[in-house]
Structure 1
Amino acid sequence: MSTATLAPAATVHHRLSAAFTTDGTRLACLAAHTDGRCTAELWNLTGPAPQRTELRAAHEAETPRTQVLPLPDGRLLLCRSTPGRHDLRTATPGDHRTRPLGTLYHPAVRLLPWPGPEGLAALVTTDSRRRSTLRLLAGPGPDLQTLAELPGGLLGGDWLDPHRLLALHYTDGTAHGIVVETRTGRAEPLPGAEPGERPLLAAPRTGQLLVAVPTATGSHRLGLRPLDGHTPTRHPEGLNSLPGGIRPLAFDPTGTRLAVRSDRGAAARILVHRLDTDTATELPAPPGTFGDRAHWTRTGLHLLHSSPERPTAPLRLPAAPEAAPVAGVRQLAGADGPLEAVVYGDPGTAEHAVLALHGGPETAWRLEYDPLLAEFAAAGLAVLALNQRGSTGYGPAHRDAIRQDWGGPDLADVLTVGHRLARERAARGLEPPALYGISYGAWLALLAGTDPHAPWSRCAAVAPFRSVPHLAATGAPGVRAMLHRLGAPAEPAAERDLHRRADRIRVPLLLLHGEQDEVVPVAHSRELHAHLRDLGRDVHYREIPGAGHHPVTGPSGPAVRAALTDFLRTGAH
């Protein structure tokens, strides 16, 4: 074990080997000093300005061959390479030590960020037979899990979701794009790719790929197409007519805008290209040059900048996401009378739409800020947040319609509105709406998913319970008192027990539950997931460590909201 100390101020003339975490909150790089030394740096990008921690191990030195990678837990992963040998070590800010993880003996090793909670980082190793292996560094020890093995070289790496890696595969002197499925180890060519097409960037929330396609003159044209391969690549004229040498950098969080670097003469500019209008505007930025890598988060565009006044360093350019669709209130016809809903955008005409069900049931959606619904809307999901019977704010008759009858009038309203919305969207050639619910709304959403003509593309349920009587039997005394006060049915009803109706569910499901849920015990989701899996249903389950009944807020909130948004929009999980 070696000792590390925070380095004193030093003259840095260049920064290289920059790598972001998958969420863009941290950046790691090597700092090259004027005296020839290299040191590892970790930058926190979450504050008003980037904050640097420089780590220098005693009696050790980094070289330009060292790879650095910020880890999700706040540490730094180092890969110190010499020909045929690669030493893996970690450094923790404030710990003053680096710790060995192990040594790999391969011609080449490359570090990649890991997007999910199952591990810390991914590594691509290449052996003497020119075979590439994708491996997972799963924990604090040196154990590596093999995910996929491929002949030839594997370059690039853009995560489409926590289990699919978009990469460039080299075999026999040619290169083509592939998608590696890490759960099965299978690698498939990009569907519908043109000859010579190379993937550059992916926008997971829209399913868009940015590709480079060779031309007869030896140059390349930029193209956009969905990942599904059913739609041919389009080559936007405006994007391909931008001035200067163009380097694509990053999609915005909604996947509707693209940041590109335009090199022309001695300086560079940052342009933002809108995909829907094929137009670009220049982003105000200080004069200078910019690096090849960037990450666009909701706080702005993060990239490396250099100018005559300062060496290369992280810079954040304010670049707010496109304004979300205007929210409003809409009157709807329910199963037995008028209903009201809060809507974002137009669920009947938008490319993607979700019908959202609140918890409670003694509550309602209001025309106010809701971080989850706002994130749905910003990602291009039109939202219909329904106040079905049982919701508050519409008088005693509306509120009390479900007393002793949960899953009766309320479910009828959900199905009536859902079927009508699905027909409206089908007439325009659009997929059915997705369905989302939390707590009571999650139970109601899953019940709606058992309808024989379920009008849903997919369903996400956060903290669902099996049935009302089962919740009363397993919940804390306060939960039982709440159920009694709200008039929940005390006797079991087979048609409203999710375990008894699970065989009727045909739509893809995502279940999420906080490990420390104090209202609905996490066992409800665990048992439901196991039962659905045994039935062969398309179900995915995520348990949120340390989270309570509302995992969409609090420390787990950003990751949970992103997972819900991605699944409801595209089915990614």
Structure 2
Amino acid sequence: MVNHEAPYGSWPSPIDAGLVAAHDGRPEFLTAIGDELWWTAPRPAEGGRRTLMRLRPGDGTGAPVAESVLPAPWNVRSRVIEYGGQPFAGAPRERGGPLVVFSHFADQRLYVLTPDTASAPDAASAVDAASAPGGGEPVPLTPLGTVGGGLRFVDPLVLPDRGEVWCVLEEFTGEGPTEVRRVLVAVPLDGSAAEDRGALRELTDDAHDFLTGPRLSPDGRQLAWLVWDHPAMPWDGTELRLAEVTADGRLEAARTVLGGPQESVVQADWAADGSLLAATDRTGWWNLHRVDPGGGTPVNLCPREEEFADALWKLGHRWFAPLENGLVAVLHGRGSAQLAILDTESGELADAPGPWSEWSAALAVRGSRVAGIAAGPHSAYEIVELDTCTGHLSVLAAHHTDAVDPAFYPRPERRTFTGPDGRPVHAHVYPPHHPDHRGPQDQAPPYVIWAHGGPTGRAPLVLDLELAYFTSRGIGVAEVNYGGSTGHGRVYRNRLREQWGVVDVEDCATVARELAREGTADGTRLAVRGGSAGGWTSASSLVAPSVEGLYATAAISYPILDPAAWADGETHDFESRYTESLIGRLEEVPDRYRERSPVLLADRVSVPFLLLQGLDDVICPSEQCDRFLAEIGERVPYTYLAFEGEGHGFRRAETIIRAVEEELALYQRVFADGPRSADGPRGAAGGSTEGDGSAEGR
């Protein structure tokens, strides 16, 4: 029973910033190596590194326990296209346990690891080591790059019979962020390339700007991979390439068998019978198709107006996984991703049971079992496995445990609002919730509109302790999957084309205004927040005339603030021409860039804000924040926190704690006096703002 009345934003909560930081991040890149499961896991308290986790099969005496394979400072994470992708792979061996190859974040070299063998002095002996006790130290397989961003590797395929690892190589040819080439390469497992770039055997040329990792057919005779070129992003148009593999490991007769400028193929893989499968949006939705290697018409295996894939932000994402018996494990849904088993002959789809409403793009198959990373509105991401023979699901690792009484968790609602021109706007609404506190009966609560990053992405409906940190204190949250978001087909996704800074801003404002109109939110105590592209939307919401006066404050993290500079070389190669589809070609529509630039429109900002930035961010560099704040001057109060050692997205526990606490402090100051008149002042905070007009941590 709710017993205490207190101002919104002031409710006591056991969910503190330290708890948020400790639970930041989730398991990623789940992979089966023989009968074992491997994945990466976050370590916020260890500098934000990613460790490599291993789950061996049970021996019948009890449930197996996952173990961390690599101690600090090893950091299993690739920087290819800066967002990375599958950073490791492995192969089982008859003796000595598995052989694993991984990318180390600090130097981006590939290393070989044989965790069940004694320490080996070189790669060749590591590969050949027998089952001695102890654990081998990682041994480098690739050289250090000396130009620009160096040599980077991702999405490896370990081929012990060939003595090689096939993967994507990203090689910088100059100091600039776009002076880069990408090819598929074969890396010797014997370590002969550890100091010799010339020992890396290139499998493809660099005719395409981007490509994904290799997928070898069951008989080893064919190789499939994906390519695309500027200015397309992988959700715009990609090609599925296929080549014959010769006996000596060369590729011949490479050709395109699917895809094109207006068709996005985001995953391809081989079924056990040797047929080629691909997730393509040729119907307007990412559906699973069987592909004819000869170039014939692909067959849609389950025609539905649902997504069976999502945006390819990280190389190696896996939304479907063929099983040995011909069935295919798939993720599907509208605005969510649910695990199901697809019968490719009948097209029947059988959903997996259980409380999990969202599954990550990381499916791993072990015989008739399929494992994934799943979460729900009341549980964080766990390693879950489905036995397709019995239909039984079980949690294997990363078990969700309630760090606090779940009575403090929010109770979300799926909502669809009506935006301009009658267009639908999808959102998740999280009202303030506390087991024994409520706000004043004559007041509606403040709300924060969360704009997700991407912008070609979406906010999943899962338990997030950072979100609960605010709702348990009496501040509502609405996550908006604005036009341009994934999960609702290509038409919804394309709504943002040339309308970035317009449609996303309007859709967020639609949700905010409707929540206020219906009395769910206090219309005088609304805020907007987001990071990366969400930071752009938040900053744009402070300067766009169409939403003037709507928000009382904003929390902006590692944002794009100067789109013209971003389109003119001030970002990494992957997104260097993204604005051509989001806004238009800079040389053709310069006025459009000026009319939407938070930097150039900074004089329109009239409310206090928080700006958070990583000083190592090469995607949204801190120089944009500097220019923005120079234009702001001392007109409005703000707090700017710039963190050394952080890049695009915060990973260190101390950074996350500071950021979350500062965001709450901002809302408490701005919302402290309760509802204000709609005609009242909107630019003053209730108290002094630490760091007004200054940069901390520089």
Higher strand share: 1
User: Could you state the TM-score of these two structures normalised by the residue count of structure 2?
Assistant: 0.38
